[in-house]
A and B are shown apart, each in its own frame.
Chain A
Amino acid sequence: MTCTEFIAQLDDLLEEKVPPTLKAELEEHLRGCEHCVITMNTTRKTIEIYRSHELYELPETLRVRLQKAILAKCKKC
């Protein structure tokens, strides 16, 4: 298996959606390829970091203002 072929399966591997035979082939590739190990681990970390950090929080005061504005318009519909 080449690195390109490994990368093509990376998402499915990270989401544990690969069938056992293919998974064994991917793991075999990983045993001999440090670059793909790093790519896999850092890609997994990338996803985790974005999932665990709230980048755009809606402040409560703005939230209340938006809710009031939305419902006022809905009542006029």
Chain B
Amino acid sequence: MPDIQTQGTEEVHPDVLLVNQAREGDVQAFEKLVKQYDRQVFRIAQHITQNREDAEDVVQDAFLKAYEKLDQFQGNSKFYTWLVRIAVNESLMRLRKRRTGKMVSIDEDVETDEGSMPRDLADWGPDPEMQYGQSELAEILRKTIQGLPPGFRTVFVLRDVEGLSTEETAETLGLSVPAVKSRLLRARLQLRERLSRYFRRNKRDGAK
């Protein structure tokens, strides 16, 4: 993460300085922001859209929209979370298009009972991922997270993969903190349940 600099008595995040320079027309300053966050935006977009081409488009559109709207960036949130909000909205829009107009929102399918209580109680080995080669494991992880409803998937990716705080995730997605916590718990439990199919010990000695 970039170092925090001080300006007078207040700490100023380096992104804010770059945003201010970019607002004044310094494209090189914006280029630094692109290079700082393009990997994360791509990852988030790919997780949400589940489509490589869409993820590429989201990266371009999210940064371009951010650039066009720099004047609207308030500075009371991090530039990164503001950018992620734009990227999430762009991603959901692409997902909706792929589904030929079917409504897609982060509220979709969140009323399911799945994951509210664990069912598969089999224990895993100490290093379950060692059972698989790297590419096979990556495929298992991708397939497993793809099966989550978009609303759960998005919260899990922002909180657990990208490391946003609960509050930042709530702000980014326009959800309440309790809603984020509820979705995160159920996303984690659903993923755990699904991964158990691959990682469980051979004998079903955990369930009673």
A interface residues, Cβ below 8 angstroms from B: 3-4, 7-8, 10-11, 34-35, 38-39, 41-43, 45-47, 49-51, 53-58, 62-63, 66-67, 69-71, 73-75, 77
Known: A7-B118, A11-B185, A42-B192. Contact between A58 and B63, CB under 8 A? no
> Closest chain B residue to A34 by CB distance?
B206
Identify the stretch in B1-9, B87-95, B97-105, B135-143 within 8 Å (CB) of chain A at 4 or more residues: B135-143
Residues of A within 8 A of B55 (CB): 56
What is the size category of the interface that chain B forms with chain A? Answer: 35 or more
Expressed in whole angstroms, the minimum distance between the Cβ of A48 and any Cβ of chain B is 9
Task: Give A54 to B134 CA distance when docked, in angstroms.
Answer: 11
Contacts of A71 in B (CB 8 A): 27, 30-31, 34
Residue of B34, B64, B118, B121 most packed against chain A (CB within 10 A): B118
**Contact present for A53 and B137 (CB under 8 Å):** yes
A50/B67 in contact, CB under 8 A: no
* Contact for A50 among B56, B123, B128, B191, CB less than 8 A: B191
A74 near B121: Cβ-Cβ < 8 Å: no
- B129 and A42 contacting across the interface, CB-CB below 8 Å: no
Across-interface contacts of A70 in B (CB, < 8 A):
34, 59-60, 63-64, 67
> CB within 8 A of A43: which of B38, B39, B63, B189?
B189
| Contact of B68 with A by CB under 8 A | yes
Q: Are A7 and B67 in contact (CB under 8 A)?
A: no
Closest to B185 in A: A11
At the interface, yes or no: B13 with Cβ under 8 Å from chain A?
no
Q: Is the CB of B60 within 8 A of A73?
A: yes
* Most-contacted residue by chain B among A4, A41, A58, A73 (CB, 10 A): A58
The answer to whether residues A47 and B188 also contact, given A63-B39, A67-B34, A70-B60 and a CB cut-off of 8 A, is yes
Decide: B46 and A7 in contact? CB cutoff 8 A.
no
Q: Closest CB of chain A to B50's CB: distance in Å?
A: 10
Docked-complex contact B188 and A66, CB < 8 angstroms: no
A4 to B117, CA, bound (A): 7
Look across to chain B and name the residue whose beta carbon is closest to the beta carbon of A65: B56
In this assembly, does B17 line the interface, its C-beta being within 8 Å of a C-beta of chain A?
no
